[in-house]
Homo-oligomer: A and B are copies of this chain.
Amino acid sequence: MPSDLWLPLAKKMVETIDGLDWCVFGKNGSDVTSYAITLARVYTGKMDILLARGSYHGSHFWCQPHGQGVPEEWKTHVHYFEYNDAEDFRRVWAEHQGTVAGVVLTPHRHDAMRDQELPKPEFVEAVNSLARKDGFMVIIDDVRCGFRLDIAGSSKHYGWKADIQCFGKAMANGYAISVAGARRELMEAAKTIFFTGTHFFSGVPFAAALACIDEIRASSAIEHIRRMGTMFMNGLADAAAAAGVKVSVTGPPAMPYMTFADDPLFETNRFFCGEAARRGIFLHPHHNWFVCAAMQEADIQKTLDVASVCFKLTREKIGG
């Protein structure tokens, strides 16, 4: 049911997130990434959107190049570059110079089925400066990372000069709410955009988000997550080394991921994660993981103990 928490949450978001002067609310990540590209288009009067190849921004037609049942022309006006490759970004921009409305980027690279990559400072600088020069919008899709790396947003954490930012997931501890917001200058453009949906006005997720954001701050959850994640990533690397298994542990401590060397089809990873699941620990073989505020040292240690056993089993399976 609707409530009077809409405005308090909007104020909370604007107070909390760096560079956010106003915002709208949706239910899931796709709602707000689709809103963000529309806002960039209306504000700039241009239509082309640049996306990093392999980055995930939702399941709407425009951002699922692999989807079945989507007409080809419903995927137009979207052009792909390589994440963290400033030269490739400039090349794709130059090919569409004059028609680029915005670039959509995850704060760091957390595509499924590959090692995570933190954004290279020269890539961040290239995007920031070209956007300022050309007038296209920097849209940071902080749906997955938001409220995990920095309470003020992952754009601040990594140095993105975001014009438009999207949040979801962690902000209401699982209650269905998502947010897109932007700088003050984009507010007029927003007035012409059609954006609504079933359940968008339900009060419960607004209350959950307000409580959750306050609790993240009061409990220093982000610092705790960073400590637990660091303990986990270091322990995981040590346990793999002790078992003689080569792994790559990547990502910020709040959201680690691990791959095995010479494992292009993730068969070794599925074996490892399957053995861990049998022992009560859920790790995903294809998707990055999340450390949450409820996890304590004993939980991390238990996870590392199980991982040690599973690394030994993996070593036996794949050989030396």
A: residues with CB less than 8 A from B are: 1, 26-31, 34, 37-39, 41-42, 47, 58-62, 64, 66-71, 73-74, 76-77, 143, 168-169, 174-178, 192-200, 202-205
Contacts and interface: CB of A to CB of B under 8 A. Distances in A.
Given A174-B1, A176-B202, A204-B175, A38 B197 contact: no
Contact of A30 (B174, B197, B202): B197
B62 A61 contact: yes
A64 B60 CA distance: 14
Contacts of A1: 174
Contact of A38 (B28, B70, B77, B202): B70
Given A42-B69, A73-B73, A175-B204, A168 B199 contact: yes
Contacts of A27: 27-28, 176, 199
Contact of A34 (B60, B178, B198, B203): B60
A278 B203 CA distance: 23
Residue from A37, A74, A192 whose CB has the most chain B CB atoms within 10 Å: A74
User: Counting chain B CB atoms within 10 Å of each CB, which of A60, A66, A192 scores highest?
Assistant: A60
A193 B47 contact: no
Contacts of A176: 27, 176, 198-199, 202, 205
A60 B38 CA distance: 11
B59 A195 contact: yes
16 contacts: A27-B28, A28-B199, A30-B198, A34-B60, A38-B70, A39-B69, A41-B70, A41-B71, A59-B195, A59-B197, A69-B193, A71-B76, A73-B74, A174-B204, A177-B199, A178-B199
